[in-house]
Amino acid sequence: MFSLMANCCSWLKRWREPVRKVTLVMVGLDNAGKTATVKGIQGESPEDVAPTVGFSKIDLKQGRFEVTIFDLGGGKRIRGIWKNYYAESYGVIFVVDSSDAERMEETKETMSEVLRHPRISGKPILVLANKQDKEGALAEADVIECLSLEKLVNEHKCLCQIEPCSAVMGYGKKIDKSIKKGLYWLLHIIAQDFDALYERIQKDTTEQKAYEEQEKRERAERVRKIREERYFFLCDFLFPEEKEIV
């Protein structure tokens, strides 16, 4: 009887918890398996996934969370856009191709750049050591060592969890349990510090919008000046005699 009452109280407490809207960014090098991972989480087959050009967005429900995940392209030319999504992000999912030892140094440098950004430092990060199904894939301990992961997350005060996984081994309810476990961990950590993260995100997004508006105005002013200079140049070229008369 006591156990039944305790279970009912626990269920009632969870039912009364507010639905929280959370945004996550999923990053990593090109070909790490980000899109396959996000497709699997969404319940779609991760097979034959095309590389992400720019970004893709998915929305899903996880318990009392309404989660938006931005799957950001990992090519060198596109990584510059990642920072545009940091302000609204509650946490990071960093996908690593654990079968590609030759790019581990590049992965380490990229992860360091992400974690040192002022709008990411201090936020939780889930590292998915993907492609464990591949022959020669690095084990969890080796990935940690290659990325100097402990040093990186301590330096930037980011709570971190690493999960060895394979995004192509299943999807939906049959998705790799490590991916499901990692996502649960990330949302649990966010829930524990939700109010502080929410306030930080409101501040960061307000500042970013103001910065973007300022950039937009400055860009419009530069365009106006260029057009004005071209106009006067054209006038001087077509009507040089009028300038001489003046």
Q: Pairing mode, if any, of strands 160-164 and 125-130?
A: parallel
Q: 177-192 and 194-238 are packed helices; what angle lies between their axes, rounded to 10 degrees?
A: 90
83 is in an annotated binding site: no
CB 119 within 8 A of CB 83: yes
31 is in an annotated binding site: yes
74 is in an annotated binding site: yes
CA 220 to chain centre: 30
220 is in an annotated binding site: no
**Bridge partners, residue 72, by sequence:** 55
40 is in an annotated binding site: no
173 is in an annotated binding site: no
CB 187 within 8 A of CB 152: no
52 is in an annotated binding site: yes
172 is in an annotated binding site: no
CB 121 within 8 A of CB 132: no
30 is in an annotated binding site: yes
157 is in an annotated binding site: no
132 is in an annotated binding site: yes
Tokens of residue 119, six digits: 């709008």
Binding residues: 28-35, 52, 74, 130-133
Binding residues for Mg(2+): 35, 52
Binding residues for GTP: 28-35, 74, 130-133
